[in-house]
Amino acid sequence: MEIVIKTLEYLDNLRLYPKIKTVSSPPKPVVRIDGRNLHMFCSNNYLNLATHPRVIKSNVEGTKNFGTGAGGSRLISGSTDLHKELEKVISELKNCEDSLVFSSGYLANLGVISAMAAPARSVAKELTMNMLYSLKNETVIFNDELNHASIIDACKIANVAHIRYKHVDMNDLREKLKKNRNKRKIIISDGVFSMDGNIAPLPEIVALAEEFQAITIIDDAHATGILGENGRGTAEYFNLKGKVDLEMGTLNKVFAGVGGFVSGNTDLCRFLRVASRSYIFSAAMPPGVASGLITAIKIFREEPGLRNRLLKNVEYFQSGLKKIGIHVKYYPTPIIPIIIGDESIAMSIAEELFKKGFFIPAIRWPAVPKGKARLRITVMTEHTTEQIDGLITELEELLEKYGVKNNPVHLKTLITHNV
């Protein structure tokens, strides 16, 4: 217990313990917190589908018809018509043969990555000890150093060797693949990196995977519904559909529900249904949620204007930042980080923004490395140009006030961070 108290004291002394704000309204561009209306620029509800009337109606009807919970795991009693339909709709969206739905994106990564790392161990331990020994010692996971925490944790519990390569550094990845040429290899990367908004260099990853005969897994949590002509994600964005073995994703961002999924060919998905422990031993997502997600995906495909308006807001915000001297590299993703660097300054700026009516919590260690604290700003389809202009005005004033805007060190970080 003493170590717990000391840890809390350490976090409190350095202002690292998060002050969680309680939101008393839906995740719209304006939210209610502590009796005040604030402009929210930190939500993953990118297309504002969480409050779409058809999505809400579908969620309610699904709950009325199937109850508030599934009543079991997918392999026992938890697979309903709605879960199967959701998997079908996701497969059509991703243009893949099959898909599995998990209760969360975190569980999807834990289950899929650990199962793919040691497939025999997952299903037939007592029959294949020699194969198990070989897999444990011969499988190596190659993991971008800025991948999401769920990927990092999945690599740890997979109980095989995992090597972190420098962020989007394909030369580093190549050298590490070369050193493990004779091993069974799996390359894992975010499609869009959650704290930076930049896009993985998928063409180079696929080329290296083909050269070194590696399995590829891409986490499209922030790319599905955003990237590609039809919103199918990173592979479509680079015209590489069919070249990635497994495409992961979450259902709580663009599609505004909760859950995770994996899409791939029929054999891989059939295997994962009996090998992913987080799929086997977790209760299925509530049927009402599945119903709402089905409708959200249908709306997304029917109304491409939603995504087009989002990307226009992204461009508008980026151009506004450039006008005040913050030159972040443009990516067609709604995540726009402004690197402050110092944790205390980042906290102070976030607190002042809150007082001025803008809700953007500071992101700091351990979510990002020490010395790289930031404002992780996200825009939504329903943000107005007036709201964006208002935020840019406040940012310019606060960055100047705290010496960030004119500080050469911080300015260099701002300019080069996503290059």
The domain that contains 75 carries what CATH number?
Answer: 3.40.640.10
Better-scored residue on pLDDT, 125 or 209: 209
pLDDT at 14 (0 to 100)? 79
pLDDT band for position 405 (cuts 50, 70, 90): low
Q: In the prediction, which pLDDT does 414 show?
A: 41
* Pick from 42-56, 243-257, 399-413: least confident: 399-413
Residue that is last in its domain, among 302, 334, 356: 302
pLDDT of residue 419: 30
Same domain, 256 and 393: no
Q: Tell me, what's the pLDDT at 293? A: 98
Same domain, 60 and 158: yes
32 part of a folded domain: yes
pTM of the model: 0.90
SS (H, E, C) the chain: CHHHHHHHHHHHHCCCCCCCCCECCCCCCEEEECCEEEEECCCCCCCCHHHCHHHHHHHHHHHHHHCCCCCCECCCCCCCHHHHHHHHHHHHHHCCCEEEEECCHHHHHHHHHHHHHCHHHHHCHHHCHHHHHHHHHHEEEEEECCCCHHHHHHHHHCCCEEEEECCCCHHHHHHHHHHCCCCEEEEEEECECCCCCCECCHHHHHHHHHHHCEEEEEECCCCCCCCCCCCCCHHHHCCCCCCCCEEEEECCCCCCCCCEEEEECHHHHHHHHHHCHHHHCCECCCHHHHHHHHHHHHHHHHCCHHHHHHHHHHHHHHHHHHHCCCCCCCCCCCEEEEEEECHHHHHHHHHHHHHCCEECCEECCCCCCCCCEEEEEECCCCCCHHHHHHHHHHHHHHHHHCCCCCCHHHHHHHHHCCC
Domain-located, residue 15: no
How many separate domains does the chain show? 2
| 141 domain-assigned | yes
275-to-60, 141, 360 alpha-carbon distances in Å: 33, 18, 40
What mean pLDDT do residues 54-82 have?
Answer: 95
Confidence of residue 327 (pLDDT cuts 50, 70, 90): confident
Q: Are strands 184-190 and 214-219 parallel, antiparallel or unpaired?
A: parallel
pLDDT of residue 366: 81
Per-residue confidence band for 369, with pLDDT thresholds at 50, 70 and 90: confident
Share of the chain above pLDDT 90, in %: 78
Q: Is 8 contained in some domain? A: no
Summarize the confidence of residues 210-217 as an average pLDDT: 96
CATH number (domain holding residue 334)? 3.90.1150.10
Same domain, 400 and 340: yes
Check pLDDT > 80 for residue 133: no
Domain shared by 233 and 87, yes or no: yes
Q: Quick one: pLDDT at residue 127?
A: 47
For residues 206-222, average pLDDT:
97
Query: Can you give the residue range of the structural domain that contains 259?
Result: 53-302
309 and 201, same domain (yes or no): no
326 with 201, same domain: the answer is no
Domain boundary among 302, 321, 339: 302
User: Is residue 7 assigned to a domain?
Assistant: no
pLDDT at 135: 52
At residue 329, the pLDDT reads: 77
What is the mean predicted confidence (pLDDT) over 149-168? 92
Considering the domain architecture, whether residues 116 and 195 belong to the same structural domain is answered as yes
pLDDT-derived band at 418 (thresholds 50, 70, 90) equals: very low
Average pLDDT, the chain: 90
pLDDT grade, residue 178 (50/70/90)?
very high
232 within domain boundaries: yes
Taking residues 27-31, what's their average pLDDT? 96
Taking phi over 0 as left and psi of -120 to 50 as alpha, with beta for the rest, 233 belongs to left
| More confident position, 159 or 247 | 247
Residues 205, 81, single domain; the answer is yes
Mean pLDDT to the nearest integer, 150-164: 91
Report the range of poorest mean pLDDT among 8-12, 78-82, 347-351, 391-395: 8-12
Q: Establish if 12 belongs to a structural domain.
A: no
Same domain, 178 and 63: yes
Q: Confidence class of residue 233 from pLDDT cuts 50, 70 and 90?
A: very high
Rounded CA-CA distance 28/25 in Å is 8
Query: Is the Cα dihedral 272, 273, 277, 282 positive or negative?
Result: positive
Which single residue is written with the structure tokens 């299903």?
123
Instruction: Grade residue 410 by pLDDT with cuts at 50, 70 and 90.
Output: very low
Same domain, 232 and 278: yes
- Lowest average pLDDT, out of 142-146, 326-330, 399-403, goes to 326-330
pLDDT at position 330 is 81
**183 occurs within a structural domain:** yes
Q: Among the three residues 276, 302, 328, which one is the final residue of a domain in this structure?
A: 302
Residue 135 and residue 27 in one domain: no
Task: Flag whether pLDDT at 392 surpasses 50.
Answer: yes
The reply to whether 67 and 176 lie within a common domain is yes
